[in-house]
Structure 1
């Protein structure tokens, strides 16, 4: 579904991605692991069109989309749920979900998508008239994911969905991501909690200084002494 080839991204003199190459096949959960500053979030920003690569190619379904705009990528089925949730705190849960469907012109289809989110995340249905800023951290993360789902992604990119959440809530969020994937959505997951990510992923890529240094099936990465030492603990 997605192929990055020799991707470079620069922020001024800083080279954030250095020849990054990776693939995501339809139906997979692929985890991007690495320390802060490794280039994980920049990779998602480049794919979604938020930053323009200085070199390399991004190919989606066999068609080059390098440098495409964020709305064009959403229209192509690529949806980015950013780090930090970034919900609209003064709007209700329902209003946040409606904004996720800003490209959906059919009102009945938008309502069907919101109803599917409520089925998947019943806590959001219970809170539908509550302001987003009054939700718990875990509920806000669910809302951010739900808003992304309303856009109708074929590829859902999630940036640090477990950040700041208690361990039990992290487990619940990861279970939701696995359910989303089981229902047919491909997932590219950026996550510092390597243990949680590898529990649900099919494959993983370890990034360091903007390039892939290790990639393998998730179970192999979870058992790799280098990954254990760097990300999983002894």
Structure 2
């Protein structure tokens, strides 16, 4: 579904990604692990068109999207939920969700998708007239994911969805990710919380200094001594 081949990205004089390669198959949740500054967010930004690679290729469902602008990539069904939630704080929950359908011409379909989000996330349904900025951190994260679902993703790029959330809320977010995947949406998940990520993922990659240094089934990564020591607290 998604194939990244030898990707290079520069920020000025900084070589942020160095020949990075990875794949996401249809129906998978793939976790992207690594320390701060390893290149995880840069990878998602390059895939979604927010950053222009300096080398390599990005293919989505067989099409080369390396040079495509973000709106075209989104229209293909590749939808990015960036780090920090970024909900529209002055707009209501309902209005935030409606904005997720800005590329969908069929407004009846937009309404159907919004109702599906409310079915998945009843807390949002209760707060549909509440401004986004007044929601809790966990509710804002759910809203950001819900807005992406209204866009109609075939592949969802999630950047640090558990950041700053209490453990019980993290569990709810990961349960939502698993539920979205069970309904047929593939997920590329960037997560600092490696324990949570590897519980929900089918496969994973470890990034160091802008390149993938390790990859494999999530169950194997959970047992790999290098991953345990570096990302799972040695436990």
Q: Secondary structure at the match of 1:50?
A: coil
> Is the counterpart of residue 79 in structure 1 residue 79 in structure 2?
yes
- Secondary structure, counterpart of 2:85 in structure 1: coil
Displacement after TM superposition at 1:223 (Å)? 0.7
User: Matched residues in 1 for 2:155 and 2:62: separation?
Assistant: 14
The structural deviation recorded for 1:133 is 0.6
1:165-217: CA deviations, max 9, x gaps? 00010000000000000000000000000000000000000000000000010
Unpaired segments ≥5 residues, structure 1: none
1:132-211 aligned at under 5 Å gives the runs 132-211=132-211
Report the counterpart of residue 114 of structure 1 in structure 2.
114
Q: CA offsets, 1:1-37, max 9 Å, x none?
A: 0000000000000011000000000000000000000
1:130 partnered with 2:130: yes
* Distance apart, 1:91 and its partner CA: 0.4
Which whole-Å CA distance do the structure 2 matches of 1:73 and 1:62 have between them? 13
Matches of 2:179 and 2:201, distance apart in 1: 12
What TM-score results when the alignment is normalised by the length of structure 2? 0.99
Runs of 4+ aligned structure 1 residues displaced above 2 Å come to none
1:105 positional shift: 1.1
2:53 matched residue in structure 1:
53
Measure the CA separation in 2 of the matches of 1:109 and 1:143: 19
Report how far residue 141 of structure 1 moved: 0.3
The yes-or-no answer on 1:23 pairing with 2:23 is yes
TM-score (norm 1): 0.99
For these two proteins, the number of residue pairs brought into alignment is 234
